Chain A
């Protein structure tokens, strides 16, 4: 049973297109996150959601729009894709975020923009 799952695993698309990545967790956690990992493996937080509410938005371009329909899901929609959006996107979840709970990561979605 996969704890944190993401779809798709690979996404190849052209500049200017719009795409979505889905994330689901079955751990019963109340907090979910999106991270971007660049080609140098640098991992940067993009968004944090707690109980479906946006808590952290790390100066991400507004072309990126997260949506949390319920506590178990956090999707990421990206408009007008640019070359610089090419990266691996990781979803993660934790129980709370105020007590330093450990995060559980999904397998990642490798986005390639051509």
Chain B
């Protein structure tokens, strides 16, 4: 069965600092992996996805994530945080069976 673990339910960074949000997955088959962002009182919006084409995936708003099979990780990074990045971030896994498993989310706070 697939599962997703997001380490750190809350992460605070200073504006301009590196953002690192951690995601580890468990899957018995090659997974599809996603990062979504949720702003207050809104639905989820796709940041990026991994579908085995390239291990380093670039997404919107300057975010990127690297798929590391040996570590079963798909951590999300951004070189320089902006105030507008403050939101809830979700990692998700799918094995292509119409089912997506979401992590418990990480709330990112950006300090001025």
Contact = CB atoms under 8 A, between A and B. Distances in A.
Contacts of A105: 36, 43-45
B43 A100 contact: no
Contacts of A66: none
Contact of B49 (A42, A92, A100, A107): A100
Nearest to A41: B105
Given A48-B98, A48-B99, A56-B98, A42 B44 contact: no
Contacts of A92: 43-44
Chain B residues touching A, range: 20 to 34
A90 interface: yes
A33 B46 CA distance: 16
Nearest to A35: B102
Among A4, A102, A104, max chain B CB count under 10 A is at A102
Nearest to B50: A100
Given A56-B99, A98-B96, A42 B43 contact: no
Given A42-B105, A90-B44, A103 B100 contact: yes
Interface string B25-46: 0000000101010100111111
Interface in B41-76: 41-46, 49, 51
Contacts of A27: none
Contacts of B84: none
